Amino acid sequence: KYTPTNIKLDKPPHERYKGNGAKSLIDLNKGSTTFSDGLWLGYENQHLIATMDLGKAAAISGVTVGALEAPGSYIFYPKGMKVSLSTDGKKYREVITKTYPTTEANKPNEVKNFTEIFETQSARFVKIEVRSNLVNPAWHPAPGAPCWLFVDEISVE
């Protein structure tokens, strides 16, 4: 619904999976089930935090984050998501925090959207924290090894 005028990342993605930087998250060019397609932002053993500037205040009621899961390549869907809004870009108020279950077995690569809807609020800035599992789950052939979070396309409604 809204096209941000700017997007910033708190930390850059891994050098091998940097896509087109922060702009990859809002360019409407969706990543495939192939994590090396150059469209994904990959984070190893860390979370992704992105802040969008919508250019002016708007009525915000939801956020969607696209993610990739490829357990055989140590890539897992997000563990959770937190969304905070601001009118000035300095003082943020948390509007929703969600936790998602971790995959319990190996499976083929897939892409999924994580959508969170909340009470409509006016904001110019939207901060999205996409939480990684950080390490592989206990069932994985390499339990406890650092895992990846792959995100592409964040949309605001």
- Which two tokens mark 128? 């999205």
Q: Are 50 and 19 in contact (CB under 8 A)?
A: no
Residue pLDDT, tens place only, 8-28: 999 999 999 999 999 999 999
DSSP lists the bridge partners of residue 79 as none
- Which two tokens mark 129? 């924290």
Using alpha carbons, list the distances in angstroms from residue 2 to 34, 53, 87, 133, 155.
27, 10, 15, 29, 7
**pLDDT for 5 beyond 80:** yes
Residue pLDDT, tens place only, 59-113: 999 999 999 999 999 999 999 999 999 999 999 999 999 999 999 999 999 999 9
Q: Are 77 and 67 in contact (CB under 8 A)?
A: yes
Closest CA to 79 of 104, 101, 111, 59: 101
Environment class of 100 (CB within 10 Å of its CB; exposed 0-12, middle 13-18, buried 19+): middle
**pLDDT for 2 beyond 90:** no
**pLDDT for 1 beyond 80:** no
